[in-house]
Structure 1
Amino acid sequence: MIIPELFCLTIMDEDWGEETDDFWIEIEADIGIKGDSDSAEVFTIYVTSPKRLGNMVEKSGLEIARGLFIMKDFNIKSVEDRLKKILAHCSRKTWNETALAISRYAIWEYEN
């Protein structure tokens, strides 16, 4: 069984509104096979506030998202903790199957 491990989170882009409860943040997560940091591949997640998401829906009428975490107050530790909980349920027989399970929640760099 392949056990995935989160090696690193990197904030790639941040867009903050005028208030602290209005944000959109792009994060790259380096995830690979437990104990082998060289196996890490990049998964992207977006963290947004309900306020920002509401504004987006108001403008477009519809938003569809995978790889989206919604939180009232941005806290990178909370994002890390939740991602680790998700990874605990993504073990599969092969890395490809494991990565596909993770990609239900984050956007895998090698997706077609």
Structure 2
Amino acid sequence: MKLIVPELKGLHIISEDWGESLDNFWIQLHADIGTKGKEDVDIFVVYVVSPSRLQGCDIEVGRGLFIMSDFNISLLEQKIKHLLENCKRKTWEETALAINRYAYWDYENYQENS
């Protein structure tokens, strides 16, 4: 049985909010993820936040939330690639839903309403 192998094709900062110090940040990124060997991608949204920023929050939900002491995009890329290794499935839809455990799939609402 052949499985879909997801691949991180790009990671882009969409918005960033830095507090009064370098250890106080909230960053939104788009992860372009597609099937290995193909050009098409879907967008998955992730947020990177510092522990310092979380101290000021009453409540946060964890899906799509990566907590880092220091923002390091290379380290984040490595982590996402590692997570993708566990998201291989029979179809792209199943693969994307597996990735969706860690990030917000751009097409999530479309799939739920289909």
Q: TM-score, normalised by structure 1?
A: 0.93
Question: Is the helix fraction higher in 1 or 2?
Answer: 1
Q: Does 1:86 align with 2:83?
A: yes
Alpha-carbon distance in 1 for matches of 2:95, 2:75: 23
Aligned-residue identity in percent = 56
In the TM superposition, what are the counterparts of 1:59-74 in structure 2 within 5 Å? 62-74=59-71
Q: Structure 1: give runs of 5+ residues left out of the alignment.
A: none
Q: TM-score, normalised by structure 2?
A: 0.91
* RMSD across aligned positions (CA): 0.7
In the TM superposition, what are the counterparts of 1:10-49 in structure 2 within 5 Å? 10-37=12-39, 39-49=40-50
Corresponding position of 2:112: none
The Cα shift of 1:64 comes to: 1.7
Alpha-carbon distance in 2 for matches of 1:106, 1:64: 12
Q: Structure 2: give runs of 5+ residues left out of the alignment.
A: 110-114
2:55 is paired with a residue whose SS is: helix
